[in-house]
Amino acid sequence: MSFGSVKQVTMSAEEFRLFRDMIHAHCGIYFREEMKYLLERRLAPRLSLNGLEDFTAYYRFLRFSPARARELEDAVEILTTNETYFFREAYQLKAFSEEILAELHERNSRRKRLRIWSAGCSTGEEPYSISILVLESGLFGDWDVEIFGNDISRKVLSAARRAVYSKNAFRETDEEQIRKWFEPVGGGLQVKEEARRLVTFGHLNLLDEQMIGLVGQMDLIFCRNVLIYFDKDAKKRVLRVFHDRLQPGGYLLLGHSESLINLTSDFELMHLKNDLVYRKPFLEDLS
Ligand SMILES: C[S@@+](CC[C@H](N)C(=O)[O-])C[C@H]1O[C@@H](n2cnc3c(N)ncnc32)[C@H](O)[C@@H]1O
């Protein structure tokens, strides 16, 4: 007799390879063999939700169903890691606020325009931290400033637009900054309008070349703790996009455990006082 217990569905090695390759081709995230259990555990609930018996049926659904695009988005949504918090990687943000912003201010002083992209922004803590630092610098008062936050997950983007955060998001934020830039809203703290105003969010898959074509020229790109989940080939593709989207002399800031070694020589490594960062060379440096 059955007491309504949930049937355990296992993923075969062959099924794992099919899902791994499909997800990799779609968004760059690469699951190594030892992560099979993770794929199996996270995707299993999608089977019963779609009334499917096993992973082969789910794979066919993702390939051929009229609802496949939406389902693939939902599957990727549950496979991404969205960990983030305000003012993550303090030394890098110190280089950004004390060195890079001053340089960009000088460089763009005629156009008075600043464009920053937070690629893989998750729930928004990164682009809002950038916005706060731009405002605190006091350099860009009458400038046209835009900070774009993009992510492949619609769920994190709707949280980012709400801009309301709980304690966990503030593990690296000092009291003074909390008082200055956040206000209590329904049990959480919301980023004040002044800092929200500079930030625009959009849904974007970094591997979708058509959509990427719509991204304008940037002075600086933050892409931190995103490429670590990609394989080498997908990293290279995204780095070519970043190179293309950056102004000459534009900066690329990666996560602290990430580097461009063995991936590309298109960027130069800059030894700033507070951190090492990458920069797209100026045209005259290439001669
Ligand atoms: C660990 S979070 C990093 C958040 C933030 N950059 C930080 O360092 O705190 C990685 C984010 O990258 C997003 N992501 C993964 N693959 C992506 C893709 N192909 N295109 C856009 N975003 C992607 C995930 O949805 C996730 O929100």
Nearest-CA residue for atom 12 of ligand 1: 120
Query: Binning pLDDT at 50, 70 and 90, where does residue 3 land?
Result: very low
Helix (H) or strand (E) holding 39: helix 36-49
Active-site positions?
A: 42, 151
Dist CA 157 CA 122 (whole Å): 7
Dist CA 116 CA 200 (whole Å): 11
Dist CA 269 CA 264 (whole Å): 12
Q: Would strands 246-254 and 276-279 be described as parallel, antiparallel, or unpaired?
A: antiparallel
Cα(286) to ligand 1 centroid in Å equals 32
Dist CA 40 CA 141 (whole Å): 50
Do the domains 90-286 and 13-79 match in fold? no
Cα-Cα-Cα-Cα dihedral sign, residues 181, 185, 189, 195: negative
Q: Which residue has the tokens 């007799």?
A: 1
Residue ranges of domains in the chain: 13-79, 90-286
Cα(226) to ligand 1 centroid in Å equals 5
Dist CA 76 CA 82 (whole Å): 12
Query: Could you tell me the fold of the domain covering 13-79?
Result: Chemotaxis Receptor Methyltransferase Cher; domain 1 (1.10.155)
Query: Could you tell me the fold of the domain covering 90-286?
Result: Rossmann fold (3.40.50)
Q: Which residue has the tokens 């020589």?
A: 265
CA dihedral defined by 128, 95, 260, 234, rounded to 10 degrees? 10
Mean predicted confidence (pLDDT) in 70-81: 96
What's the CA angle centered on 94, arms 273 and 130, to 5 degrees?
140
137-171 pLDDT, tens digit each: 999 999 999 999 999 999 999 999 999 999 999 99
Whether ligand 1 lies within 6 angstroms of the CB of 235 is answered as: no
Per the CB < 8 A criterion, the answer to whether 280 and 248 are in contact is yes
pLDDT for the residue 245: 96
Q: Which of 73, 96, 151 to mutate to test the pocket of ligand 1 (most atoms within 8 A of CB)?
A: 151
182-219 pLDDT, tens digit each: 999 988 999 999 999 999 999 999 999 889 988 999 99
Q: Which residue has the tokens 């051929």?
A: 64
* pLDDT(2) > 50: no
